[in-house]
Amino acid sequence: MNGIRMRRVLQIAVAFSIILIVPSTQTYSYPILDHFDSFNKSIWYKATYCNSATCVSAKNAYVASGDLVMRVPTKQYGGAEVETKQSFGSGEFKLSMKASASPHVMNAIFLYDPKTQNEIDLEVINEGVWEAWFTTYVNGIQESHSKMPLNYDASSAYHNYTIKWSATDGLVQFFVDEVLSEQVSYQANNANLYLVLMAYAPSWTETMPSTTTYCNVAFVVISA
């Protein structure tokens, strides 16, 4: 079970749908481009909750020096999660991210619907070597999962990570630095998914961070 799935299963057991607490009434024009000059509350929502996998806190997500910063605190299973208030029926979702330097921390961009548990994950993690994990779920059941080693230290510089999802074609493509890295069929009917950015230390790794580290996001682009 990957990191996001473990967290989501436990979150649903504790409290149904944090995402849907704050639905957006605003209609956006595309592309949505956020350089994080400030925290745009019309687009984003900071999550706060605890479960047996981790605790995420709104105080661990903030904007500084033109970045969205997600703090992963030392000596605890915790981190930050930022979610869109709007859901999307398909599209291209890109971020420029410098991952947390702590081993075993999940740095993620993913799409998720708490009602159906449909989910598309792109996660970056250091488990001795840096890897990108690509995973999809339909109705809470894992449809695909693969890993790709990265030939760089994901915590030393910004890299682009993209999920491209076509509901019409039933296809999901994952890109790392604009290079197609994985492609899978995805047959989730009538899916509307929220975009979630997350960095956290999960308890299932049995390794708490020894120092406080930060996952930095320079920009997010959402294209229809």
Residue-range definition of the domain harbouring residue 204: 3-19+32-223
Residue at 158 is within a domain: yes
Total structural domains within the chain: 1
pTM as predicted: 0.89
**Residue whose token pair is 């869109």:** 84
Residue at 140 is within a domain: yes
d(CA 185, CA 162): 16
Q: What is the pLDDT of residue 30?
A: 84
| Cβ atoms of residues 130 and 124 within 8 Å | yes
Residue at 142 is within a domain: yes
Residue at 24 is within a domain: no
* Ramachandran quadrant class, 114 (left: phi over 0; alpha: psi -120 to 50; beta: rest): alpha
The residue count of the chain comes to: 224
User: Could you tell me which residue, 15 or 188, shows the higher pLDDT?
Assistant: 188
Residue at 26 is within a domain: no
Domain with 197 in it: what CATH number? 2.60.120.200
pLDDT digits (tens, 9 = 90+) for 49-75: 998 889 999 999 999 999 999 999 999
Residue at 8 is within a domain: yes
pLDDT digits (tens, 9 = 90+) for 135-152: 999 999 999 999 999 999
The percentage of residues in the chain with a pLDDT greater than 70, rounded to a whole number, is 88
Residue at 25 is within a domain: no
Backbone CA torsion sign across 136, 49, 73, 65: positive
| Cβ atoms of residues 202 and 52 within 8 Å | no
